């Protein structure tokens, strides 16, 4: 069977969650499946060994199909490709199905944050997200959701039959995300980003749904009420509606204690996570919450919201809090910083929790769904 995959997001230069998901699952499928052949559609040229090591290329069963186009790449250029040279099956892991597509078409829906928090998205973006989910869920023969939470949202908000959805959990880059024991490596990365000694770390695109405004307020209360000598480090490229987040730091006069770093390459994140006292993830809504696994894999205690899919991702290895309650966030951070017994328990449970997730396991679930498609 010829399986086509939209790999346009997988080859971006500054990947975040959905792009990493696409890249890692494509790599896992290619490594696992020797029966089918894969055609990977890219918008920008990628090296032949991007999805397989040079050693694996000798037996790799895939081809790269670069189809550059300036605008409307999915609905115009990829649609045209489907019309002229359609594969037996198409999977879109990180965007929306093209208007023209094979009868057997699969799509991954990562989250429906715009349905829960419409005010956290610009109107045009919100409208496009709603349309793309509506279109993809109607056009696809089957849907993958990142979590049970996403599956339930698809049923609730878009009336998708539950039987049309398979929950396939993302995983994390296990070779990369490991505890960094060498203090010199951690200090070198901290110096690179001008980070002080003790810090709370959070990672994610800067926009309202990540709840950074309340995290900043909680941090302010933490250092005021408990005289804690610590800094807050926010890692993430600017998304949308972020001006109020930067303004809040200035209003509280916390510029010297809060660092907003923009995008940081994945190669530096294990050291940043390993060096952090606590990893905070108080997001209002997530389709999964991959940074939680990455922090747990680095041996860092996690404080996160008790909402959406986050309990699914974190398991019993996080200190949960109400993301709408600033005092609750501050209190959870304080406990995770000060309670050594709790810290040790969260770290140990974190190492156990991440064993539940594997790109190979996820790829096998996707392959099984491909095989069941008729």
Give the confidence band of 193 by pLDDT, cuts at 50, 70, 90. Answer: very high
Specify the pLDDT at position 59: 65
* CATH 3.40.50.2000 domain residues, the chain: 2-171+358-372, 183-356
The secondary structure of residue 335, as a DSSP letter, is H
Specify the pLDDT at position 198: 92
pLDDT at 192 over 80: yes
Q: How many Å is the Cα radius of gyration of the chain?
A: 21
Question: Which backbone phi and psi does 141 adopt, to 5 degrees?
Answer: -80, -25
Q: What are 120-155's pLDDT values in tens digits? A: 778 888 899 999 999 999 999 999 999 999 999 999
Give the confidence band of 200 by pLDDT, cuts at 50, 70, 90. Answer: very high
Q: What are 162-178's pLDDT values in tens digits? A: 999 999 999 999 999 99
- Report the alpha-carbon distance of residue 209 to residue 217 in Å, rounded: 15
Q: What are 259-317's pLDDT values in tens digits? A: 999 889 999 999 999 999 999 999 999 999 999 999 999 999 999 999 999 999 999 99
CATH numeric code, 2-171+358-372? 3.40.50.2000
Contact present, 34 and 62 (Cβ < 8 Å): no
The residue behind tokens 């770290």 is 347
- Report the alpha-carbon distance of residue 74 to residue 95 in Å, rounded: 9
Strand 231-235 relative to strand 302-305, pairing: unpaired
- Report the alpha-carbon distance of residue 309 to residue 287 in Å, rounded: 6
Token couple for 127 = 């409208």
Is the CATH code 1.10.286.10 the one for domain 183-356?
A: no
Specify the pLDDT at position 54: 65
Specify the pLDDT at position 114: 87
pLDDT > 70: what percent of the chain? Answer: 98
Give the confidence band of 47 by pLDDT, cuts at 50, 70, 90. Answer: confident
pLDDT at 374 over 70: no
């Amino acid at each position: 069977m010829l399986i086509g995959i939209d790999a346009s997001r997988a080859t971006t230069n500054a990947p975040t969650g959905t792009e990493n998901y696409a890249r890692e699952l494509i790599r896992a499928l290619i490594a696992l499946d020797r029966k089918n052949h894969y055609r990977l559609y890219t918008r920008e040229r990628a090296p032949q060994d991007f999805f397989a090591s040079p050693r694996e290329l000798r037996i790799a069963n895939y081809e790269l199909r670069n189809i550059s186009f300036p605008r409307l790449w999915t609905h115009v250029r990829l649609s045209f490709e489907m019309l002229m040279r359609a594969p037996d099956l198409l999977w879109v892991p990180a965007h929306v199905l093209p208007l023209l597509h094979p009868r057997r078409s699969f799509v991954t829906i990562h989250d429906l944050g715009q349905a829960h928090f419409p005010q956290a998205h610009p109107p045009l973006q919100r409208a496009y997200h709603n349309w793309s989910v509506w279109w993809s869920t109607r056009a696809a023969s089957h849907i993958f959701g990142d979590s049970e939470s996403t599956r339930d949202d698809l049923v609730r908000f878009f009336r998708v039959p539950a039987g049309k959805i398979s929950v396939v959990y993302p995983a994390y880059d296990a070779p990369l995300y490991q505890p960094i024991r060498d203090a010199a490596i951690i200090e070198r990365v901290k110096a690179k980003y001008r980070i002080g000694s003790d810090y709370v770390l959070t990672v994610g695109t800067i926009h309202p749904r990540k709840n950074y405004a309340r995290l900043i307020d909680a941090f302010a209360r933490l250092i005021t009420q408990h005289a804690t000598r610590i800094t807050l480090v926010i890692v993430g490229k600017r998304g949308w509606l972020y001006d109020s987040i930067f303004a809040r730091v200035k209003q509280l006069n916390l510029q010297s204690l809060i660092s907003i770093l923009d995008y940081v390459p994945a190669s530096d994140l294990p050291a940043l996570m390993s060096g952090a006292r606590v990893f905070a993830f108080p997001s209002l809504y997530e389709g999964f919450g991959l940074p939680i696994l990455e922090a747990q894999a680095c041996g860092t205690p996690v404080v996160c919201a008790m909402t959406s899919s986050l309990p699914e991702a974190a398991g019993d290895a996080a200190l949960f809090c109400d993301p709408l309650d600033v005092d609750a966030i501050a209190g959870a951070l304080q406990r995770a910083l000060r309670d050594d017994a709790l810290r040790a328990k969260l770290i140990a449970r974190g190492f156990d929790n991440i064993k539940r997730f594997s790109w190979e396991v996820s790829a096998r679930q996707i392959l099984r769904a491909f095989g069941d498609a008729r």
